[in-house]
Amino acid sequence: MGQFIKEQINVLPLSHLTYSTGPRGSRRLRRAAAAFLNEDFHSRQTITQDNIFVTPGLASAIDALTWAICNDGDGILVPQPYYNGFDFDTLNRRNGRVIGVKYEGIEGFSELDDLFRPDVNKRALEVALREAKKNGITIRALLISNPHNPLGRCYPPKTLLELASFCGKNQLHFISDEIYAKSVFPNAALSSPTPFVSILALDIHKVIELNLTHVLYGASKDFCANGLRLGLVCTNNEGLIGALSSISMFSWSPHVLQDVWAAMLEDRQQLERFMIKKGKLMAENYHIATSFFRERGISYYEMNAGLFIWVDLRHLLIPESSRDQTGYRELRVTSPDASVYKQREQRFANICAQNGLMIAPGSIYAAEEFGWFRLTFTVGKNALEEGLKRLDKSLKAAETDLRI
């Protein structure tokens, strides 16, 4: 992909060295993005360039959306665990706040798989909305990541329809961050993996007004191009497009880079080859990483989408004698000793850092239980193998350091 991008950089003075079509996005990119979403996301409604608003990445998109739909202090519901960047994206300009949707204690919830069930989500969302109202917080939207970050699974269509229905009944915006849509790979360990389905592909107009649904997408993840800093908002809401346009001077993506992404989207043969190769490499790296865990008796959440593995290292935080009596219940963030376990979780992350390995503790993703870690497996094979060696060293050091 790097070579392809290099070949596409061709400065056109009248388009790239002037204000051109303005900060909303180049016509070429908006046309290419619309065609891509129609074909690859199987949109039920035909998307045109008028439905696309270009931003310098999805952090900028979420920041702008929060500014447009929220008043100061308003909340956006986000199911836990969630990508920690959402906290910053909603806070900075509008002083919006993420209201985490908790599942612990919700009827029907007992394991991570339940986070994708429609009935469990409905009950959890209703509780979260009631609690927010009780605390004087006005909720304006529901924001999800599909495929899920950090869990690496896709939401089933029935669950997406339930989420849309909840938003429709409560007049909330439904924002679906689909930046990992094309980062799905085969995993034989999942007997019936849920494929990616965009909310664009669903017949949701019966349960929610279409001007309340918005899809986010970007070049960073699926195209392995974080440095391009390009994203988009896809919406039918003309008023929202107008609001975003009113502040777009402050987040204007260079048109020369927009044309690079447009070229990537337009060249269907190159795009298909790239996505096939990427999926193959992801599956190979996933096998390497999970073999490492299985050899050491370490559990992890089987996934098939995204760039991360949700690794279960709860055994490092709690003595075996305690596990025999209560399992891992003490590791819940609501337990009396939560601060102790949070410190142990961070201590292991620090041990990894001392060994030259960055691993993210689950608490920064609002996990409801300490001891889970997010590990990136989508790097070069040499880097992955070296990282696993350093993780092995860190695990051995933790057995002594944490004294359990």
Domains for the chain: give ranges and CATH numbers: 2-266 (3.40.640.10), 274-395 (3.90.1150.10)
Q: Is the pTM of this model over 0.85?
A: yes
Distance CA 82, CA 95 (A): 19
Q: Lowest mean pLDDT: which of 137-146, 314-323, 386-395?
A: 314-323
- Burial profile 120-131: b = 16 or more Cβ within 10 angstroms, e = fewer: bbbbbbebbbee
User: Strand, helix or coil at 374?
Assistant: strand
Q: Which of 3-17, 229-243, 254-268 has the highest mean pLDDT?
A: 229-243
Output the pLDDT for position 404.
Answer: 52
pLDDT at residue 59 greater than cutoff 70 = yes
267 CB neighbour count, 10 Å cutoff: 15
Which pLDDT band holds residue 273 (cuts at 50, 70, 90)? very high
What is the reported pLDDT for 382?
Answer: 98
15 versus 45: the higher-pLDDT residue is 45
Mean pLDDT score, 337-356: 96
Q: Is 145 helix (H, G, I), strand (E, B) or coil?
A: strand
Single-letter amino acid code for the residue at 256 = V
Give yes or no for a contact between 254 and 212, defined as CB atoms under 8 angstroms apart.
no
Q: What does the CA dihedral 346, 297, 369, 321 come to, rounded to 10 degrees?
A: -90
Q: What angle, 0 to 180 degrees and rounded to 10, lies between the N-to-C axes of helices 238-246 and 58-69? A: 110
Q: Give the per-residue pLDDT at 226.
A: 82
Please provide the distance, in angstroms rounded to a whole number, between the alpha carbons at the two ends of the chain: 47
User: Mean pLDDT across the stretch 265-285?
Assistant: 95
What are the beta bridge partners of residue 99? 77
* Helix, strand, coil % over all residues of the chain, rounded to 5: 50, 15, 35
Segment 337-345 shows an average pLDDT of 94
Residue 204 has pLDDT above 60, yes or no: yes
Looking only at the bridges linking them, the beta strands covering 139-145 and 75-79 are: parallel
Structure token pair of residue 369: 């239980």
Share of the chain above pLDDT 90, in %: 81
178, two tokens: 């689909």
- pLDDT (0 to 100) of residue 4: 60
- What is the pLDDT averaged over residues 272-281? 96
State yes or no: pLDDT of 8 exceeds 70.
no
DSSP for residue 102: -
Q: What is the pLDDT of residue 215?
A: 99
Of 93-102, 271-280, 344-353, give the lowest mean pLDDT range: 93-102
User: What whole-number distance in Å separates Cα of residue 180 and Cα of residue 197?
Assistant: 11
pLDDT band for 328, please (50, 70, 90 cuts): confident
Share of the chain above pLDDT 70, in %: 92
Question: pLDDT at residue 198 above 90?
Answer: yes
Indicate if the pLDDT at residue 14 is higher than 60: no
Confidence band (pLDDT; 50, 70, 90) for 296?
A: very high
* Mean pLDDT value of segment 181-207: 96
What is the rounded average pLDDT of the residues 205-225? 94
> What mean pLDDT is reported for the chain?
92
For residue 96, what pLDDT is reported? 86
- Which pLDDT value is given to residue 174? 99
